[in-house]
Each structure stands twice: as structure tokens, then as C-alpha cells.
Amino acid sequence: SIKAIESSNKEDDTMWLTYWVVYGVFCIAESFSDIFLYWFPCYYAGKCLFLLWCMAPVPWNGSQVLYHSVIRPCFLKHHEAVDNMMSDISTKA
């Protein structure tokens, strides 16, 4: 999804690809922290509001903000290492 977002061919799917990238990162982070977070009052209501903000059809929605401020810089910093690792895995397979 990140490769599709960063490609030169921009279509309407970029908004939803951005959402799914943010949602995937959120799910990975939540799987490690959910054991502690569910004890907080209104955790599930806050999670629902967060996901609604990420899906909102406005230019400043959560997925755009989080992708451009957190995920994209991290990806651009490490994408060569990830590509090398994936090519090594595919040759070994």
C-alpha cells in the first residue's frame, strides 16, 4: 500500500490506501498495548472516535495527518533496508 501511495499515478484510491496503512500500523501497535489500554475508562469509545477521525472525508483526517507526519518519514528512512530484506527473503524462498 505504501508503494502504491508513493507511486506517480495518483488516483482516488490514495485516500483509502493511506487509511489502511494507518489502520495496519494502529492494529500492530494495539496488539502489543491492548492488554494495558483496555483498562482505561472509555477506551473503546476513544478507539471508535479515533478510527472515525481516520476515515473522515476531509483533507485533515487522521490517516492523512498520521501518515504524513509519522509513517511516511519512518518509511522513507528505512525503505531501502526493507526492500533489501524482502528481496533476500524472496530469493531464499
pLDDT of residue 82: 86
Helix (H) or strand (E) holding 63: helix 62-66
Report pLDDT digits (tens) over 12-26. Answer: 577 778 889 999 999
| Beta carbons of 63 and 18 less than 8 angstroms apart | yes
Model confidence, pTM: 0.74
Reply yes or no on whether the pLDDT at 92 is more than 90. Answer: no
Alpha-carbon span 57 to 60, nearest angstrom: 9
